[in-house]
Amino acid sequence: MNELAPISREDRVEKLKGLGHSRKRVEDVRFTQGKGNYVDDLKLPSMLYGDFVRSPYAHARVTSIDKSAALALPGVVAVLTAEDLAPLNLHWMPTLAGDKQMVLADGKVLFQGQEVAFVVANDRYVAADAVDLVVVEYEELPVVTDPFKALEPDAPVLREDLAGQTSGAHGERRHHNHIFLWEVGDKQATEEVIASAEVVAEEMVYYHRTHPCPLETCGCVASMDAVNGKLTIHGTFQAPHVVRTVASLLSGIEEHKIRVISPDIGGGFGNKVGVYPGYVCAIVASIVTGKPVKWIEDRMENLTATAFARDYWMKGRIAATKDGRITALSCHVTADHGAFDACADPTKFPAGFFSIVTGSYDIPVAYVGVDGVYTNKAPGGVAYRCSFRVTEAAYLIERMIEVLAIELGMDAAEVRAKNFIRKDQFPYQSALGWEYDSGDYHTAWNKALKAVGYEDLRREQAERVEAFKRGETRKLIGIGLTHFTEIVGAGPVKNCDILGMGMFDSCEIRIHPTGSAIARLGTISQGQGHATTFAQILASEIGLPADSITIEEGDTDTAPYGLGTYGSRSTPVAGAATAMAGRKIRAKAQMIAAYLLEVHDGDLEWDVDRFVVKGAPERFKTMAEIAYASYNQAIPGLEPGLEAVSYYDPPNMTYPFGAYVCVMEIDVDTGVADIRQFYALDDCGTRINPMIIEGQVHGGLTEAFAIAMGQEIAYDEIGNVKNATLMDFFLPTAWETPHYVTDFTETPSPHHPIGAKGVGESPNVGGVPAFSNAVHDAFRVFGLKQAHMPHDHWRIWKIAHDLGLHG
CA distance 547 to 16: 8
Amino acid in position 156: P
Q: Which of the residues 101, 112, 114, 238 is marked catalytic?
A: 238
Measured from each CB, the residue nearest to ligand CUM is 270
HSE-CB for 239 with a 13 A CA cutoff: 28
- Identify the residue among 385, 530, 757, 791 touching ligand CUM (CB under 6 A): 385
What SS3 string covers 771-793? HHHHHHHHCHHHCCCCCCCCCCH
User: Residue 578 binds what, of ligand CUM, ligand MCN, none (CB under 5 to 8 Å, by partner type)?
Assistant: none
User: Residue 310 binds what, of ligand CUM, ligand MCN, none (CB under 5 to 8 Å, by partner type)?
Assistant: none
Residue pair 719/112 in contact (Cβ under 8 Å)? The answer is yes
Q: Near ligand MCN by CB under 6 A, which window of 165-173, 256-264, 538-546, 754-762?
A: 754-762
Q: Which of the residues 386, 496, 662, 684 is marked catalytic?
A: 386
Q: Is 32 helix (H, G, I), strand (E, B) or coil?
A: coil
| 530 is an interface residue for ligand MCN by CB under 6 A | yes
Number of residues that bind ligand MCN (CB under 6 A): 34
Give me the count of residues in the chain: 807
Under 8 Å CB-to-CB from 775, ≥6 apart: which residues?
478, 480, 664, 666, 673, 708, 787, 791, 796, 799
- Identify the residue among 269, 349, 468, 779 touching ligand CUM (CB under 6 A): 269
Cβ-based nearer residue to ligand CUM, 210 or 745 = 210
Site string for ligand MCN, 380-409 (x = CB under 6 A): -----x------------------------
Run of H or E including 464: helix 454-469
Footprint of ligand MCN on 690-709 (CB under 6 A) = 692-693, 696, 699
| 567 is an interface residue for ligand MCN by CB under 6 A | yes
CA distance readout (Å), 594 to 514, 590, 598, 605, 622: 19, 6, 6, 10, 12
Footprint of ligand CUM on 539-578 (CB under 6 A) = 566-567
Residue pair 630/641 in contact (Cβ under 8 Å)? The answer is yes
Look at phi and psi of residue 192 and say left if phi exceeds 0, alpha if psi is from -120 to 50, else beta.
alpha
CA distance 546 to 17: 6
Under 8 Å CB-to-CB from 313, ≥6 apart: which residues?
147, 148, 204, 206, 333, 334, 335, 336
| Alpha helix stretches (DSSP H) within 103-239 | 124-133, 147-150, 187-195
Residue pair 328/190 in contact (Cβ under 8 Å)? The answer is yes
Q: Near ligand CUM by CB under 6 A, which window of 119-127, 385-393, 429-437, 702-710?
A: 385-393
Give the sign of the dihedral formed by CA 78, CA 84, CA 90, CA 95: positive
Cβ-based nearer residue to ligand CUM, 223 or 387 = 387
Cβ-based nearer residue to ligand MCN, 55 or 570 = 570
Partnered with residue 118 across adjacent β-strands are 52, 80
Give the sign of the dihedral formed by CA 41, CA 44, CA 48, CA 53: negative
Closest to 576 measured CA to CA, from 353, 758, 387: 758
- Identify the residue among 145, 330, 506, 571 touching ligand MCN (CB under 6 A): 571
Under 8 Å CB-to-CB from 68, ≥6 apart: which residues?
none
| 756 is an interface residue for ligand MCN by CB under 6 A | yes
386 in active site: yes
How many other CB atoms are found less than 10 A from the CB of residue 461? 18
User: Residue 367 binds what, of ligand CUM, ligand MCN, none (CB under 5 to 8 Å, by partner type)?
Assistant: none
Cβ-based nearer residue to ligand CUM, 554 or 582 = 554
- Identify the residue among 269, 295, 354, 434 touching ligand MCN (CB under 6 A): 269
User: Residue 747 binds what, of ligand MCN, ligand CUM, none (CB under 5 to 8 Å, by partner type)?
Assistant: none
- Identify the residue among 338, 753, 760, 790 touching ligand MCN (CB under 6 A): 760
- Identify the residue among 147, 185, 240, 268 touching ligand MCN (CB under 6 A): 268
**CB of 567 vs ligand MCN, minimal distance in Å:** 5
Whether residue 790 is preceded by a cis peptide bond, meaning omega within 30 degrees of 0, is yes
User: Residue 758 binds what, of ligand CUM, ligand MCN, none (CB under 5 to 8 Å, by partner type)?
Assistant: ligand MCN
| 565 is an interface residue for ligand MCN by CB under 6 A | yes
Q: Is 54 helix (H, G, I), strand (E, B) or coil?
A: strand
Cβ-based nearer residue to ligand MCN, 627 or 692 = 692
Cβ-based nearer residue to ligand MCN, 52 or 388 = 388
| 95 is an interface residue for ligand MCN by CB under 6 A | no
User: Residue 382 binds what, of ligand MCN, ligand CUM, none (CB under 5 to 8 Å, by partner type)?
Assistant: ligand CUM
- Identify the residue among 18, 240, 270, 491 touching ligand CUM (CB under 6 A): 270
φ, ψ (nearest 5 deg) of residue 104: -130, 145
**CB of 259 vs ligand CUM, minimal distance in Å:** 23
Q: Site residues (CB under 6 A) for ligand CUM?
A: 238, 268-270, 273, 382-387, 566-567
Which amino acids are annotated catalytic?
A: 238, 385-386, 761
Q: Site residues (CB under 6 A) for ligand MCN?
A: 267-270, 385, 526-530, 533, 565-571, 684-689, 692-693, 696, 699, 756-761
